[in-house]
Structure 1
Amino acid sequence: MPIDPGPLWDYGNPALSEQRFQAAVVSAAPDDAFILRTQIARTHGLRKDFDKARAVLAEIEPAFAGASTEAKVMWLLESGRTWASPAHPPALRTAENRERARSLYMRAFELARDARLDRLAIDALHMMVMVDNEPEQQLAWNQKAIAYMEASSQPAAKGWAGSLYNNVGYAHHLAGRYDEAITNYRKSLAAHELAGRTGNMRIAHWMIASSLRAKGELQEALAIQQRLEREWDADGKPDPYVYEELEHLHRGLGNEAEATRYAAKLKAARG
């Protein structure tokens, strides 16, 4: 079985992740080393150094033809992410770059689909929202990814549930369909609860509250955000996004003093 790079990842600390991958490459078999280097490229992409990410991928491209299907899919995915990903600022989200990414993501999907690598096939589908970025287009791609995930019997594919339902919820939110957004956010919450992911559970609650605020249900949203504030503060990890929502909520409720207080907390948290 090819190496699973997942346990080496700390997505919040790409530099540390790179160190782990570099250390693992030293004793890895050739195919595993190829996979690890695709992840090294991804660490550079997360740090917005897309030229370096492409350089790392170019270094291993000569070994592409002889790599396993899983390694090929991962190379294609990471190549796509150097052209269109959440890390890209608006200035780099050009039509040309998005079309480059489309070709790579679709090749990755087709290879993964044919090899029954469902987890990676879903990864490719869910990245297409970075290519087709209108809300209805994003919703369609996320629904395709969910249908693929729900049809799969592979546990690794089911692990996408929390992220995918969140993405569908957000697409509904952007389109102003707040009830549909909340329904999907609650599905995301249930998936994260099943997996015991505390941080993701809190994010799901935040998303629910944000749609409640958009619906005008300010008191219910306020109660959720105040609870999240207490939980994050108790962990010593104050969340500026919670402060931002609390500022909006208090302002919407006419509590100007509290809104001003949270605006100050937000400013301090973001430096």
Structure 2
Amino acid sequence: MVDFDAQWDYNHPEETERKFMSLLTQSEDSGNVGYLAELLTQVARSQGLQAKYETAHKTLDRAEKLLTKDLVVARIRYFLERGRVFNSSSRQLDAIPLFLNAWELGIQSNEQHYAVDAAHMLGIAESTQEKRMEWNLKALDYAEKCPKGSRWLGSLYNNIGWAHVESGKLEEALELFMRALEFRKVQGNPNTVFIAKWSVAKVLRLTGRVDESFAIQKELLAETEQTTEPSGYVYEEIAECLLLLNRKEEARPYFSFCYDRFVLDHWLVTNEPERIARIKESAGQSF
């Protein structure tokens, strides 16, 4: 059977969904119920990443009907993906019990990777900063002790770093983002290395080290300009750096490039309207 997890491209969930649907057609008559149930959970995840929440829930309903007590991994993945769809659609109260189920079943069955995944999602979905940090630290402790959970370290350094940013602990955040960057370099994935560099640069800006931040963001811009999808987040940070360097007019086109990309992002438009409005105003665009 094809390793469908290796087919994931989180930056292009619509393409991933098409790949998974093709595999689904091939596997439905295979008789491998566990494989089919797990694949359905990942189809749902790709749909959730496209904000197709109702469709994702219907896909998960199909997976749920296949689950039996002995299909432990499929059950954990079902809990995780149902929780992720709820979380992405701002239904955290529905998501949290599912992530708890995934965590507990992952621990009981020694499925370390999925246990850390569940704990890290609780570190995102919980209602208070204190609870989110508690789960992030619990996930980090478990990942550091368990070989199969160690692949999560980069994500956990990142998540805890942003929690520190949220609480104003910028130096602590910068240290964690630097650790994340070193970890990502060892892993060798260009996309996650890019994100880690961007995070370091953003916190450098927030701590007043604008020149250092600006230099990194320009390097990242040079990388994105070699692709067909320049990053709006890099444009935004370059614009913010230029403002702090008293180069307001130079900042405007970068805010404009950023706005053109962010306005197409359903999640940002829905959840951060003030940010979008500020970027539009800074770009000099009329409402």
- For normalisation by structure 2, the TM-score amounts to 0.84
Cα 1:110–1:236 shift into 2, 3 Å: same
Q: 108, 133, 136: which is aligned to 2:102?
A: 108
- Amino acid of the residue matched to residue 191 of structure 1? F
**Counterpart-to-counterpart distance in 2, 1:182 and 1:172:** 9
TM-superposed deviation, 1:269: 4.8
Aligned to 1:250: 242
Distance 1:55 1:180, change over 3 A: same
Shift of 1:67: 4.7
Provide Cα deviations, 1:194-250, integer angstroms capped at 9, x if missing partner: 011122112111111111111111111111111111222234542221111111111
Q: Which moved more, 1:142-151 or 1:45-54?
A: 45-54
- Pick closer, same or farther for the CA change 1:228–1:127 going to 2, 3 Å: same
Question: Quick one: structure 1 residues 257 and 75, their matched pair in 2 at CA, closer, same or farther if it must change by over 3 Å?
Answer: same
Residue number in structure 1 paired with 2:5: 6
Superimposed CA distance per residue, residues 28-59 of structure 1 (whole angstroms, 9 cap, x where no aligned partner): 42210111111111122111122221112222
**Displacement, 1:174?**
1.1
What percent identity do the matched residue pairs reach?
A: 31
1:22 is matched with which residue? 21
Residue pair 2:40, 2:62 contacting (<8 A) in 1 also? no
Q: Bigger shift: 187-196 or 197-206?
A: 197-206
Q: Residues of 2 paired with 1:162 and 1:4: CA distance?
A: 23
Aligned 8 A contact 2:45 2:81 in 1: yes
Paired residues for 1:163-178 under 5 Å: 163-178=155-170
Residue in structure 2 matched with residue 205 of structure 1 by the alignment: 197
In structure 1, the residue corresponding to 2:221 is in which secondary structure?
Answer: helix
Partner Cα separation in structure 1 for residue 130 and residue 160 of structure 2? 10
Report the equivalent of 2:130. 136
Cα distance in 1, alignment partners of residues 133 and 248 from structure 2? 37
Given that 1:3 and 1:35 are in contact with CA atoms closer than 8 Å, whether structure 2 keeps it comes out as no
- Quote how far apart the aligned CAs of 1:133 are: 4.0
Alignment partner, residue 216 of structure 2: 224
Q: Report if aligned partners of 1:31, 1:67 keep a CA contact under 8 Å in 2.
A: no
In structure 1, what is the equivalent of residue 276 of structure 2? Answer: none
**Shift in Å, 1:4:** 4.8
Q: Does the 8 A contact of 2:119 with 2:136 survive in 1?
A: yes
Could you tell me how far 1:129 is from its partner in structure 2?
2.9
Amino acid at match of 1:241: Y
SS in 2 for 1:82: helix
Q: Does 1:36 align with 2:39?
A: yes
After superposition, the C-alpha distances for 1:156-182 in whole angstroms (9 at most, x for unaligned) are x22111111111111111111111111
Q: How does 1:177-196 map to 2 (within 5 A)?
A: 177-196=169-188
Counterpart for residue 78 of structure 1? 81
Q: Which amino acid aligns with 1:131?
A: A
Taking only aligned residues, the RMSD between alpha carbons, in angstroms, comes to: 1.9
Unaligned runs of 5+ in 2: 264-287
TM-score, reference length from structure 1: 0.88
1:118-162: per-residue Cα shift (whole Å, max 9, x none)? Answer: 0000111111134214333322221111111001022xx221111
Letter in 2 for 1:128: L
Aligned to 1:176, the other structure's residue is in SS state coil
Q: Which runs of 5+ in 1 are unaligned?
A: none
> Conserved in 1, the CA contact under 8 Å of 2:33 and 2:66?
no
Separation in 1 of the partners of 2:247 and 2:220?
19
Q: For residue 52 of structure 1, what is the amino acid of its counterpart?
A: T
